[in-house]
């Protein structure tokens, strides 16, 4: 809930609404505790622990696992990663987070892990080029799946995941946790749905983080603790030039779709959720490597994409150099309405009415460091995202219990992912694209249709779309 409105200043526009930080934290923590048994429909007291496995035991895979452990009783059965040092690190933290519990078994090949068919839930935090094969294998093994975004590296991989989830009646929650971010939920209800913006006719989205790794490390021998061929899987096998974890792999199109595929998918998904949008009618994009020309990175350092809807365009821009247009909103979306503008990010939100006499509204990100003190010592944790991920996990568990659709269902994750993938295809071809999910083609464009799927490195085979 918003705090009480402050008295207007003597001069200038009225002061904004502002959520009182301390009171918000206290009330939100209490509400969250109640929500575990209420709004989410998850009975944590009488719940039988779910048997859980993790594929991809690096940074975000572990982060998702620890958030799940914070909100529900689980039995950690298995960990998988082709890097044995990643497995050792995950085992060490698991012993701290689950004292007295048996150590999970470890695997370097996800197929061996899933062959046991003893998992209720599989979390997937591997690089993007692995998502389709691993998600479908987990679904076919009978598990419900928490899959990190983007769900795939090409459009038809996403179609295959969606088809498998529906065929086997599995719950698949995608890690687009903005839908579970407390202040953005408030924004959707109290600004967008309340009509404060009036008619919304344009969306801007952006990312100006300097997040594009761009070095020239030398080729070197693969270390003994890493199965590099397994890490690479169906992607092209690049010469090994250092550990591919965290940011380095994201700088190559061999494994993903660049900053647009990594960051736009969140903001586009949030805009679609807030405004009730489905597939774009048409997608276009332009960009390239304009500034950061040194180094091995082959993803664009500058890119613009336009997602066209009926009476509304959603426009994305990223630059991995220079300064953000709005320093308070370096990774954000902006909803432009006839009555005002809404700025929204993972950290804050502001409604700015066009009427200078009207009230501005400010929202702050919720942190839960008091309730979860272990957050403050966890390496590389995104403190602002942790509360959202916890709620995302509870929503996932509630959907498992009801056999319903979670808030970030795989179909919505597919639309957001595929739209970003299509933007890259449009940039490559230099023309707009209109994808038809019914036929799984770009009608009238055979060249674009062929680019809806990437070739796989042998012996890996592409999943079939049922």
Give the domain range for residue 130: 38-176
Ramachandran region of residue 413, left (φ > 0), alpha (ψ -120 to 50) or beta?
alpha
Query: Sign of the CA dihedral 126, 130, 136, 141?
Result: negative
Q: Is 20 a domain residue?
A: no
Residue where a domain stops, chosen among 176, 197, 231? 176
Q: What is the CATH number of the domain that holds 82?
A: 3.40.50.720
List, in order, residues 6 or more apart from 220 with CB less than 8 Å away.
Answer: 240, 241, 242
Tell me how many domains the chain contains: 2
- Please indicate, yes or no, whether residues 247 and 197 belong to a single structural domain of this protein: yes
- Determine the pLDDT at residue 15: 37
pLDDT of residue 246: 72
Q: Does 29 score more than 60 pLDDT? A: no
CB 110 within 8 A of CB 55: yes
Is the peptide bond prior to 301 cis by the omega test (within 30 degrees of 0)? no
Average pLDDT, the chain: 91
**Spatial contact of 164 and 403, defined as CB atoms under 8 Å apart:** no
204 and 159, same domain (yes or no): no
The pairing of strands 50-55 and 121-124 is: parallel
| Shared domain check, 299 and 323 | yes
Q: Does residue 193 sit in the same domain as residue 160?
A: no
pLDDT in tens, 136-184: 999 999 999 999 999 999 999 999 999 999 999 999 999 999 999 999 9
Alpha helices in 14-83 (DSSP H): 21-35, 59-71
Q: Is 322 left (phi over 0), alpha (psi -120 to 50) or beta?
A: left
CA neighbor of 399 nearest in space, from 39, 1, 16, 31: 39
The 3-state secondary structure of 277-306, one letter per residue? CCCCCEEEEEEECCCCCCCCCCCCCEEEEE
Q: How far apart are CA 89 and CA 71, in angstroms?
A: 22
Among 123, 157, 176, identify where a domain stops.
176
Q: Which H or E element spans position 75? A: strand 74-80
The arithmetic mean of pLDDT across residues 416-442, rounded, is: 98
Q: Specify whether 296 is located in the same domain as 159.
A: no
Confidence of residue 275 (pLDDT cuts 50, 70, 90): very high
Question: Do residue 286 and residue 434 come from a single domain?
Answer: yes
pLDDT, position 466: 73
Question: In degrees to the nearest 10, what's the CA dihedral of 193, 305, 308, 348?
Answer: 0
| pLDDT per residue as tens digits for the range 306-335 | 999 999 999 999 999 999 999 999 999 999
Question: Residue 2's pLDDT band (boundaries 50, 70, 90)?
Answer: very low
Comparing 61 with 46, the larger pLDDT belongs to 61
Q: Is residue 462 part of a domain?
A: no
pLDDT at 39: 59
Residue 264, domain member (yes or no): yes
pLDDT at 51: 98
pLDDT in tens, 436-451: 999 999 999 999 999 9
213 and 135 assigned to the same domain: no
Question: Is residue 252 located within the same domain as residue 370?
Answer: yes
> What's the pLDDT tens digit per position in 89-138?
999 999 999 999 999 999 999 999 999 999 999 999 999 999 999 999 99
Q: Average pLDDT of 423-443?
A: 98
Residue 171: CB atoms within 10 A of its CB come to 24
Mean pLDDT of 220-249: 94
Q: What's the pLDDT score for residue 19?
A: 37
pTM of the model: 0.91
Quote the Cα angle for 238-241-245, to 5°. Answer: 90
Is 427:451 a contact under the CB 8 Å cutoff?
no
pLDDT at residue 217 is higher than 60: yes
Instruction: Write down the pLDDT at residue 47.
Output: 73
Q: Report the alpha-carbon distance of residue 338 to residue 315 in Å, rounded.
A: 18
463 occurs within a structural domain: no
pLDDT in tens, 7-27: 222 223 333 333 333 333 333
Same domain, 69 and 119: yes
Is-contact 129 231, C-beta < 8 A?
A: no
Specify the higher pLDDT residue, 115 or 34. 115
pLDDT by residue (tens digit) across 177-203?
A: 999 999 999 999 999 999 999 999 999
pLDDT at residue 424 greater than cutoff 90 = yes
- Give me the CATH number covering residue 258: 3.30.360.10
Q: Is the pLDDT of residue 358 over 80?
A: yes
Pair (42, 137) in one structural domain: yes
- Is 308 in the same domain as 259? yes
Would you call 34 exposed, middle or buried from its count of C-beta atoms within 10 A (0-12, 13-18, 19+)?
exposed
Q: Is the pLDDT of residue 44 over 80?
A: no
208, 324 Cβ separation under 8 angstroms:
yes
Q: What is the pLDDT of residue 332?
A: 98
């Amino acid at each position: 809930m918003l705090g009480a409105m402050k008295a207007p200043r003597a001069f200038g526009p009225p002061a904004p609404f502002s959520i009182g930080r301390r009171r918000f934290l206290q009330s939100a923590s209490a509400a969250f505790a109640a929500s575990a048994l209420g709004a989410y429909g998850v009975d944590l007291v009488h719940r039988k622990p779910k048997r859980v496995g993790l594929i991809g035991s690096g940074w975000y895979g572990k982060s998702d696992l620890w958030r799940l452990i914070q909100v529900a009783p689980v039995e950690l059965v298995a960990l998988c990663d082709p890097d044995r040092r990643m497995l050792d690190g995950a085992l060490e933290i698991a012993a701290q987070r689950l004292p007295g519990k048996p150590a999970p078994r470890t695997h370097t090949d996800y197929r061996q892990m899933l062959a046991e068919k003893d998992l209720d839930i599989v979390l997937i935090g591997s690089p993007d080029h692995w998502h389709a094969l691993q998600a479908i294998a987990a679904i076919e093994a009978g598990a419900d799946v928490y899959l990190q975004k983007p769900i795939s590296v090409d459009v038809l991989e996403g179609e295959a995941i969606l088809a498998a989830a529906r065929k086997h009646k599995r719950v698949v929650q995608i890690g687009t946790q903005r839908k579970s971010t407390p202040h953005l939920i408030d924004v959707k209800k109290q600004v967008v749905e309340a009509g404060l913006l009036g008619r919304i006719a344009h969306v801007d989205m952006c990312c100006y983080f300097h997040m594009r790794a761009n070095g020239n490390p030398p080729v070197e021998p693969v270390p003994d603790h890493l199965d590099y061929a397994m890490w690479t899987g169906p992607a092209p096998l690049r010469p090994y030039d250092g550990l591919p974890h965290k940011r380095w792999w994201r700088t190559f199109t061999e494994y993903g779709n660049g900053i647009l595929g990594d960051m736009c998918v969140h903001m586009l998904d949030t805009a679609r959720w807030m405004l009730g949008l489905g597939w774009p009618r048409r997608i276009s994009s332009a960009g390239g490597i304009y500034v950061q020309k040194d180094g091995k990175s082959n993803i664009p350092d500058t890119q613009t994409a336009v997602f066209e809807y009926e009476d509304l365009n959603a426009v994305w821009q990223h630059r991995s150099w220079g300064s953000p247009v709005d320093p308070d909103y370096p990774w954000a979306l902006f909803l432009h309405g006839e009555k005002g503008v809404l700025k929204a990010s993972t950290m804050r939100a502001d409604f700015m009415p066009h009427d200078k006499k009207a009230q501005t509204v400010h929202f702050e990100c919720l942190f839960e460091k008091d309730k979860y003190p272990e957050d403050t010592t966890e390496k590389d944790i995104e403190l602002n995202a942790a509360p959202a991920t916890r709620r995302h996990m509870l929503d996932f568990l509630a959907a498992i219990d009801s056999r319903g659709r979670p808030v970030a269902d795989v179909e919505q994750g597919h639309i957001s992912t595929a739209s970003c993938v299509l933007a890259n295809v449009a940039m490559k071809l230099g023309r707009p694209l209109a994808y038809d999910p019914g036929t799984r083609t770009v009608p009238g464009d055979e060249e674009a249709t062929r680019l809806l799927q990437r070739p796989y490195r042998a012996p890996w085979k592409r999943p079939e779309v049922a």
